Amino acid sequence: MEERLNQGTGVTIPQLVTVRQLADLLRVSPIEIIKALISDGIMANINQTIDYETAAIVATEMGFEPQPEAPPPTETRPETAPTPTEPARKAIYAGEAEENMLPRPPVVTVMGHVDHGKTTLLDAIRQTNVAAGERGGITQHIGAYQVEKQGRKITFLDTPGHEAFTAMRARGAQVTDVAVLVVAADDGVMPQTKEAVDHARAAQVPIIVALNKIDKPEANPGKVKGQLKEIGLVIEELGGQVVSVPVSAKKGEGIDQLLEMILLSADLLELKANPQREAMGSVVEGRLDKTKGPLATLLVQNGTLSTGDYLVVGAQYGRVRAMFNDLGKRVKTAPPSTPVVVLGLPVVPAAGESFRVVADERTARGISEESARQKETTTRPATPLTLDELYSQMQAGKVKELRVVLKVDVQGSLEPLRNSLEKLGDENLRVRIIHQATGNVTESDVNLAIASQAVVIGFNVQADTTVRSLAEKDAVEIRLYDVIYRLVEDIEKALQGMLEPVYEEAVIGRAEIRKIFEVKRGKVAGAMVTSGVVKRNAPVRVKRGEEIIYQGQITSLKRFAENVQEVAAGFDCGLALGAFQDFREGDVVEVLEKQRVS
């Protein structure tokens, strides 16, 4: 069908393209693109920017022959581009049949600079939109809550900030579908605003901007939009794709519009889950209650969690004895995107750990014992990344870019460093700075590096012991420098290790043709291996003196009457060279092998 229609149609795709633009280029509906991306494990909304490689995969799947547009001169490039995959989320919904998938509520995290109103906004949302039919419940702070808008639910994570968001990702949990970026309209873009944007982008989570504190006379939304543009977040009114909603968290204004926008984004994302299967998801928070024992807030990401279910959380297992929702009400089931407090685990689990329901206690015990064993035997996480290891990871096809979290002492160091680093590598393999900022290396930087498989590079900055031990535990590399050229040189070396290896044809053996035999199908050469080894099927060239008279392959290799794979120096052999018959006594057969030279 479509595949054949487009077969071989060339299409030129920019280095960075939004889903909508790509849809236009390929003349398909954006929904098609979003679906294709989702099946590749990428949750993108219509306004999201994807990179050429990602776009090319989609285009190829649709039968096009994509080619990259020459990169634009470096003027208005966004500060960071999204990373191409988010495997954590892919795994949660992998293998589900499309017909079992039903829409699920979006899960939202609120981010932004300190004091810009994240907490106030979360409170305002919760107060104005308690889920219908559940009024009267006493709101409990369980780490997440749900509100209802237009008869649809939205789940909010109650711990605002990108630090918590990325800490969860670092543990492997990707629960957020949409990030609300709170920017105080009287203050504008601040360091943590940028940081939040980088963290959301690294996770490929679409951003909705809440321009907060518009009740204040000093509020200047227009100016803030300009600042956002500078960090690559272009608001719709400025010709971009990012939605912004003016709000006053304090006065409860604009909340409805914000919720509507969240629902709209959710529609574009086509968020779905299979409520029929056994539940799986992530721990949002855990605590020890004096009377009830260990309590865990679980966010069901797929399936439905029910009382009585056996569940495995990390290396622990337990049975759901009782569940409570965010209003403290007892519930028997929790469908996808629902946060619930669960009683029945033996210990308090950590936020970001994943859980899943299994058939019975025996299975639960088996799995938890197995993962406890694995914990003991693996001293490092599955995906460590250091500059030294990049090379082998690249060979395994796991790494195609070197992601860097860059921390520097002063603003003035950023630009030159960024420029030197981004010049390194080539179009297949480059440095991608996923976050850059001034200041010492923080836990949040390390978590971002863990979650994004990045290295942390510091210039004239420090990393304290807490930060170092977190990095060590998760095998993230922090490299600190005080000389720019050393920093650049090291990265360059790592990249050269990462560059595609260069192969050269080396002569691994020589054989001299001593006698020509006529056989039924033509001629074979009786030869003496004079050095190295002669291999069947190996590429060869035949030399007469200095002249190469033939290049091809050994198609048959025999010792006496036996077919053999190889013949070593000092032995006779009989060899045939396909259709090539024009050899003579005295010709030399050089056997070649591709060998890596760098």
Sites of contact with ligand GDP (CB under 6 A)? 112, 114-120, 160, 212-213, 215-216, 248-250
For ligand GDP, the closer of residues 162 and 356 by Cβ is 162
CB of 179: closest distance to ligand GDP in angstroms?
14
Cα angle, residue 546 at apex, residues 544 and 547 outer, rounded to 5°: 60
CB contact at 8 A, 288 and 345: no
CB contact at 8 A, 210 and 181: yes
CB of 185: closest distance to ligand GDP in angstroms?
9
Q: How far apart are the first and last CA of the chain?
A: 44
Tokens of 4: 């054949």
Q: How far is CA 468 from CA 447, 461, 478, in A?
A: 11, 13, 8
Cα separation of 488 and 479, whole Å? 12
What are 155's strand-pairing partners? Answer: 107, 146
* Share in percent of the chain as helix, strand, coil (round to 5): 30, 35, 35
Tokens of 197: 């944007």
CB of 193: closest distance to ligand GDP in angstroms?
11
For ligand GDP, the closer of residues 188 and 458 by Cβ is 188
CB of 258: closest distance to ligand GDP in angstroms?
12
Alpha-carbon Rg for the chain in angstroms: 30
Place of tokens 């590079």: 457
| 3-class DSSP state of 324 | strand
For ligand GDP, the closer of residues 249 and 364 by Cβ is 249
CB of 157: closest distance to ligand GDP in angstroms?
13
Q: Where are the alpha helices (H) located in 331-410, listed in sequence order?
A: 361-377, 387-395
For ligand GDP, the closer of residues 117 and 425 by Cβ is 117
For ligand GDP, the closer of residues 115 and 409 by Cβ is 115
For ligand GDP, the closer of residues 45 and 248 by Cβ is 248
For ligand GDP, the closer of residues 120 and 129 by Cβ is 120
CB of 143: closest distance to ligand GDP in angstroms?
16
Which residue's Cβ has the minimum distance to ligand GDP? Answer: 117
CB of 109: closest distance to ligand GDP in angstroms?
13
Tokens of 208: 């909705």
Host H or E run for residue 491: helix 484-498
CB of 161: closest distance to ligand GDP in angstroms?
8
For ligand GDP, the closer of residues 32 and 115 by Cβ is 115
